[in-house]
Amino acid sequence: MLKRSLKITGITLGTFIGLILLYLGLAFCLSRITVNDDAVAKNEVTIYILSNGVHTDVVVPIKTDLIDWSRLVKFEHTEGNDSTAQFVAFGWGDKGFYLETPTWAELKFSVAVKAAFALSTSAVHATFYKEMKESETCKSIKISRSEYQKLIDFILSSFQKAATGELFHIQTTANYGQHDAFYEAVGSYSLFHTCNTWANNALKACGQKASLWTPFDTGIFYHYE
């Protein structure tokens, strides 16, 4: 019985490790395949991709002739209520991660399981910035107005909306600072559709260079080194 138990444990552990390695291998290989490799810079609208080392946001100007984001993602939804911001960063992710996990040390097993297997709801995190500075973790991308309209449509489609078109602001004390807010979102987070997958899909939607698929921020930034 002991030998049989050890054998079953070994097979289970080996399978688990094998699946992890397969996942990481696929993530690496597919993230190196470039979509929209022929994208050409068009100096009409400047957007940014911004990483905190794990998660990627897509940053856009608050106001253009195409959209005024502050009419939907309102300054008064933030603690700072600072209307001098010039940019707003959007990130999509698991609602439990966003609202219940201020640090990795506080990650609950239940939250991790629900997120990994698409068992919970999602949220959009919006953060206002006065300026953007390019760095290894912040890259500018120059796009056309028509491409920006496609990006607008993609971002808007990620929000849950009332019949009036208003977004569902999440009232919470889990904000990351004075200049951010959370909103109810469409879709579920999973191992195969992460916050970075969403950002990568946003770039695909507006015709910019992106990975074929990536769950990690490194897969996105690889194409903008």
Kindly report the average pLDDT of the chain as a whole number.
92
- DSSP code for 77: G
| 193 belongs to a structural domain | yes
Paired sense of beta strands 210-211 and 56-61, if any: unpaired
Residue 203 near residue 49 (C-beta atoms within 8 A) = yes
Can you give the pLDDT at residue 106? Answer: 65
Tokens read off for 99: 């609202």
Task: Give the integer Cα–Cα distance in Å for 52 and 123.
Answer: 18
| 25 belongs to a structural domain | no
Can you give the pLDDT at residue 79? Answer: 96
Query: Smallest Cα–Cα separation from 27: which of 222, 216, 200, 223?
Result: 216
| 22 belongs to a structural domain | no
Can you give the pLDDT at residue 113? Answer: 75
Task: Give the integer Cα–Cα distance in Å for 163 and 75.
Answer: 22
- Looking at the structure of the chain, the number of domains it has is 1
| 5 belongs to a structural domain | no
Ranges of residues in the chain with a pLDDT under 50 are none
| 104 belongs to a structural domain | yes
Can you give the pLDDT at residue 14? Answer: 80
Task: Give the integer Cα–Cα distance in Å for 108 and 96.
Answer: 9
| N-terminal to C-terminal alpha carbon distance within the chain | 55
Can you give the pLDDT at residue 146? Answer: 98
| 134 belongs to a structural domain | yes
Q: Alpha helices, DSSP H only, in the chain?
A: 2-31, 95-100, 109-116, 145-157, 195-205, 217-221
Domain that holds residue 139: 32-224
